[in-house]
Amino acid sequence: MKRQKRDKMTRAHSKGYKAGITGRSKELCPFQTSDARSEWLGGWREALEDRNLGFSR
C-alpha cells in the first residue's frame, strides 16, 4: 500500500519545528506563501518554547 503524502501545512509546521529545535534563525524560512510561512513560523516558535523548557536534540 502506498504511503500518502502529508498535508503541506503539516509538513511546513514540522520543518519549522525541526529548524527551531536545532537553533536555526527564523529568517531562513524556505516558504514564500503566507499560509505555509505562517505554519513554518508556528512550528519554529513552538520549538523555541520547548528548547527553553529543556527539550533539545
Each domain of the chain, given as residue ranges in start order, spans 9-20+33-52
Residue 53 identity: L
C-alpha cell at 37: 510561512
Looking at the predicted structure, is the pLDDT value of residue 2 above 60? no
pLDDT bucket at 54, cuts 50 / 70 / 90 = confident
pLDDT at 35: 93
Element at 41 (helix H, strand E): helix 34-52
4-47 per-position pLDDT tens digit: 667 899 999 999 999 999 999 999 999 999 999 999 999 999 99
